[in-house]
């Protein structure tokens, strides 16, 4: 692990011990980067009431106990900490490693077969991919899983439509249109509906013709997902696709096990679990339906089987589900049942929820005609607006990752693509500018020497990379890294305006070149951890 973790960890450890000695209980000294010094701790102010002493007294006593040079008490009782110049020598950025490596299964993207990827799956895909990159790079053993919706009663309708019309590739080429037509037929033709229901039975009992049609449909969809992932730079390969159909052979066993453990109750012909504390709108206990009254299995049963498989067969010690907030209750109930069944001993499941993408009208993003936006169309539009695919994709991904994932965000091309402000293109431009600057410099970079406050601020900001990466990975909050990278680009911009590089000379020039180079490397590495490409020229 690199330097900055040592700096922050060291400061925190020293001050924690000092404040504990003063307060008589463990205290987090809340060491933060500061405008007034390199770091600051304001914890004495918070302790004043508890200890009945003026905060300046507490700070002064703690400072004495810490026995550190470069610490002074300021204002009402802040501890200002200034680092020795030696500490900010500008080492190359390194991704910090976790102290507790785990095997983590990340379930993300999860589009549905015979429907094109639409914007509803965009956030899961982008956030899940950023988390997979962050967790893998920090030393976890990550298993990516794309839980495709490739099973269920709707396939009866789709396959029957394929069979009856002998429609080949041409018709299912536009999957959305294909789905729509099948639906129209289903809604308007009673005979067709009956045949569609028989198809479900045929498919589920392994009828070769039905199965072949289903496979063709799934393969076609998978290809369209693969194309979209390639355009978006998403690290999901066909080997990571594990559709709902994969778990079908396990469902009867899941029901048997849950029944044997006394966790299922028959209710109106269905087998249900009733996790304690889950109450429906009608005020009655809410069921998680594990087997429907017609004997079929649904979404919940599949998720229970998938969870058990990931723990028992994939040996995961942590399960992440990157799925929108509307499925919060579903996952809470699935986790509760799995826990009661004893499948989660020593395993932590986490629902990584996120808000919606809103259109300019503040409602869910829709096309002008009121349809859900197709991802392919969105990417076409992005490339057209942005002049290059990398900038378009970077803009979309950054807009998605820059804010707290639980919040909704407004999809606004002008704001996302702006060359200044908290945007992907702003960060990409910063890297491009640094690269061209370094290409122009004919002299070599050299040791960092601080001659100006803007240099010091930039050098210190560079030290913040490692904690930002760890916070983003361990807190499942990619925006912690995005916010840091933006701060870094801003610190660089200030430095660049105040401190001429190519017009300076000797040691100063060499030091500034190093600072610029480190900034470029840090931004590139950080953006890569978020899955955001950095074009060479812009």
Cα 524 to its chain centre, rounded Å, is 18
Nearer to ligand ARG, 61 or 303 (CB): 303
User: What are the backbone angles phi and psi of residue 536, rounded to the nearest 5°?
Assistant: -65, -45
- Determine, following the binding rule CB under 6 A, whether residue 222 of this chain makes contact with ligand ARG: no
User: Cβ(49)–Cβ(43) under 8 Å?
Assistant: no
Q: 3-class SS at 38?
A: coil
CA–CA distance, 461 with 464 (Å, rounded to integer): 5
Tokens 């990975």 sit on residue: 473
Radius of gyration in angstroms for the set of CA atoms belonging to the chain, rounded to a whole number:
28
In whole angstroms, how close is the CB of 236 to ligand ARG at the nearest point? Answer: 13
User: Cβ(244)–Cβ(136) under 8 Å?
Assistant: no
Which residues are CB-contacts of 263 (< 8 A; sequence separation ≥ 6)? 273, 337, 340, 341
In whole angstroms, how close is the CB of 373 to ligand ARG at the nearest point? Answer: 15
Mark 259-298 with x for binding to ligand ARG (rule: CB under 6 A) and - for no binding. ----------------------------------------
> Which residue stretch of 105-113, 284-292, 383-391, 467-475 sits at the interface with ligand ARG (rule: CB under 6 A)?
105-113
Nearer to ligand ARG, 351 or 518 (CB): 351
In whole angstroms, how close is the CB of 110 to ligand ARG at the nearest point? Answer: 3
In whole angstroms, how close is the CB of 282 to ligand ARG at the nearest point? Answer: 24
In whole angstroms, how close is the CB of 107 to ligand ARG at the nearest point? Answer: 5
- Determine, following the binding rule CB under 6 A, whether residue 107 of this chain makes contact with ligand ARG: yes
Alpha helices in 233-280 (DSSP H): 251-260
In whole angstroms, how close is the CB of 503 to ligand ARG at the nearest point? Answer: 55
In whole angstroms, how close is the CB of 349 to ligand ARG at the nearest point? Answer: 11
- Determine, following the binding rule CB under 6 A, whether residue 323 of this chain makes contact with ligand ARG: yes
Strand partners for 214: none
Nearer to ligand ARG, 243 or 467 (CB): 243
Site for ligand ARG (CB under 6 A): which residue of 42, 90, 110, 287?
A: 110
Strands (E), 269-326: 270-273, 288-291, 318-322
CA–CA distance, 494 with 384 (Å, rounded to integer): 32
User: Cβ(476)–Cβ(352) under 8 Å?
Assistant: yes
The site for ligand ARG, by CB under 6 A, has a size of 9
CA–CA distance, 9 with 268 (Å, rounded to integer): 58
Give the residue closest to ligand ARG by C-beta: 110
Nearer to ligand ARG, 243 or 394 (CB): 243
In whole angstroms, how close is the CB of 251 to ligand ARG at the nearest point? Answer: 14
Nearer to ligand ARG, 250 or 323 (CB): 323
In whole angstroms, how close is the CB of 405 to ligand ARG at the nearest point? Answer: 16
b vs e for 398-422, b when ≥16 Cβ sit within 10 Å of the residue's Cβ?
Answer: bbbbbbebeeebebebeebbeeeeb
- Determine, following the binding rule CB under 6 A, whether residue 112 of this chain makes contact with ligand ARG: yes
Site for ligand ARG (CB under 6 A): which residue of 29, 128, 149, 478?
A: 149
Nearer to ligand ARG, 55 or 275 (CB): 275
In whole angstroms, how close is the CB of 441 to ligand ARG at the nearest point? Answer: 49
Nearer to ligand ARG, 321 or 354 (CB): 321
- Torsion, CA 478, CA 480, CA 482, CA 486, rounded to 10: 180
Site for ligand ARG (CB under 6 A): which residue of 321, 398, 411, 484?
A: 321
Q: 3-class SS at 475?
A: coil
Q: Which candidate, 47, 70, 69, places its Cα nearest to that of 57?
A: 47
- Determine, following the binding rule CB under 6 A, whether residue 136 of this chain makes contact with ligand ARG: no
Strand partners for 374: 118
> Which residue stretch of 11-19, 66-74, 95-103, 107-115 sits at the interface with ligand ARG (rule: CB under 6 A)?
107-115
CA–CA distance, 397 with 424 (Å, rounded to integer): 8
In angstroms, the first-to-last Cα distance of the chain is: 33
CA–CA distance, 224 with 45 (Å, rounded to integer): 58
- Determine, following the binding rule CB under 6 A, whether residue 349 of this chain makes contact with ligand ARG: no
Strands (E), 135-222: 141-145
In whole angstroms, how close is the CB of 321 to ligand ARG at the nearest point? Answer: 6
Nearer to ligand ARG, 145 or 513 (CB): 145
Q: Which candidate, 422, 425, 364, places its Cα nearest to that of 393?
A: 425
> Which residue stretch of 54-62, 106-114, 312-320, 394-402 sits at the interface with ligand ARG (rule: CB under 6 A)?
106-114
Site for ligand ARG (CB under 6 A): which residue of 144, 147, 457, 476?
A: 147
- Determine, following the binding rule CB under 6 A, whether residue 303 of this chain makes contact with ligand ARG: yes
CA–CA distance, 135 with 474 (Å, rounded to integer): 8
Nearer to ligand ARG, 8 or 244 (CB): 244
Q: 3-class SS at 474?
A: helix
In whole angstroms, how close is the CB of 308 to ligand ARG at the nearest point? Answer: 13
Nearer to ligand ARG, 274 or 331 (CB): 331
Nearer to ligand ARG, 8 or 116 (CB): 116
CA–CA distance, 59 with 37 (Å, rounded to integer): 16
- Determine, following the binding rule CB under 6 A, whether residue 400 of this chain makes contact with ligand ARG: no
Q: Which candidate, 135, 37, 96, 31, places its Cα nearest to that of 467?
A: 96
- Determine, following the binding rule CB under 6 A, whether residue 354 of this chain makes contact with ligand ARG: no
Report CA-CA distances (Å) from 358 to 129, 479, 514: 21, 18, 42
Tell me which residues touch ligand ARG (CB under 6 A).
107, 110, 112, 147, 149, 303, 306, 321, 323
């Amino acid at each position: 692990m690199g330097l900055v973790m040592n700096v922050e960890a060291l400061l925190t450890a020293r001050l924690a011990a000092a404040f504990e000695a003063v307060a008589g209980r463990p205290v987090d000294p809340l060491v933060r980067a500061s405008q007034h010094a390199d770091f600051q701790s304001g914890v004495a102010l918070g302790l004043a009431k508890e200890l009945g002493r003026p905060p300046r007294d507490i700070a002064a006593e703690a400072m004495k106990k810490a026995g550190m040079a470069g610490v002074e008490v300021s204002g009402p009782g802040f501890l200002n900490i200034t680092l020795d110049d030696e500490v900010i020598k500008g080492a190359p950025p390194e991704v910090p490693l976790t102290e507790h490596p785990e095997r983590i299964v990340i379930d993300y993207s999860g589009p549905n077969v015979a429907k094109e990827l639409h914007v509803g799956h965009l956030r899961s895909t982008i956030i899940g991919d950023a988390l997979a990159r962050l967790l893998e790079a920090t030393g976890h053993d990550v298993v990516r899983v794309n839980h495709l919706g490739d099973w269920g009663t709707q396939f009866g309708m789709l396959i029957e439509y394929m069979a009856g019309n002998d429609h080949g590739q041409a018709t299912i080429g536009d999957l959305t249109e294909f789905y729509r037509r099948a639906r129209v037929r289903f809604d308007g033709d009673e005979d067709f509906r009956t045949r569609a229901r028989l198809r479900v039975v045929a498919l589920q009992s392994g009828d070769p013709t039905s199965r072949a049609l289903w496979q063709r449909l799934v393969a076609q969809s998978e290809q369209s997902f693969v194309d979209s992932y390639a355009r978006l730079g998403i690290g999901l390969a066909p080997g990571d696709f594990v559709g709902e159909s994969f778990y079908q052979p396990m469902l009867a066993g899941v029901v048997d096990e849950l029944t044997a453990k006394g966790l299922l109750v028959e209710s109106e012909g269905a087998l249900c679990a009733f996790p304690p504390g889950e109450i429906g709108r009608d005020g009655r206990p809410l069921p998680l339906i594990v087997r429907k009254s017609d004997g079929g299995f649904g979404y919940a049963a599949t998720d229970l089987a998938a969870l058990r498989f990931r723990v028992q067969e994939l040996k995961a010690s942590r399960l992440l589900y990157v799925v929108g907030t509307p499925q919060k209750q579903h996952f809470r109930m699935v986790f509760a049942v799995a826990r009661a069944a004893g499948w989660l001993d020593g395993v932590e499941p986490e629902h990584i929820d996120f808000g919606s993408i809103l259109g300019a009208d503040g409602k869910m993003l829709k096309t002008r005609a009121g349809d859900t936006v197709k991802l392919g169309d969105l990417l076409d539009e992005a490339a057209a607006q942005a002049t290059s695919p990398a900038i378009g994709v970077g803009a979309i991904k950054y807009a998605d990752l820059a804010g707290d994932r639980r919040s909704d965000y407004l999809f606004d091309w002008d704001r996302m693509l702006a060359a200044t402000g908290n945007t992907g293109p702003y960060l990409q431009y910063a890297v491009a500018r640094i690269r061209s600057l370094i290409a122009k410099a004919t002299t070599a970079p050299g040791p960092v020497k601080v001659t100006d406050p803007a240099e010091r601020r930039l050098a210190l900001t560079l030290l913040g990379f490692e904690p930002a990466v760890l916070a983003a990975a361990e807190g499942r909050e990619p925006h912690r890294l995005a916010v840091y990278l933006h701060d870094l680009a801003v610190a660089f911009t200030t430095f660049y305006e105040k401190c001429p590089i190519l017009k300076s000379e000797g040691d100063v020039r060499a030091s500034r070149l190093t600072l610029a180079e480190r900034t470029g490397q840090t931004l590139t590495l950080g953006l890569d951890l978020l899955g955001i490409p950095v074009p060479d020229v812009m």
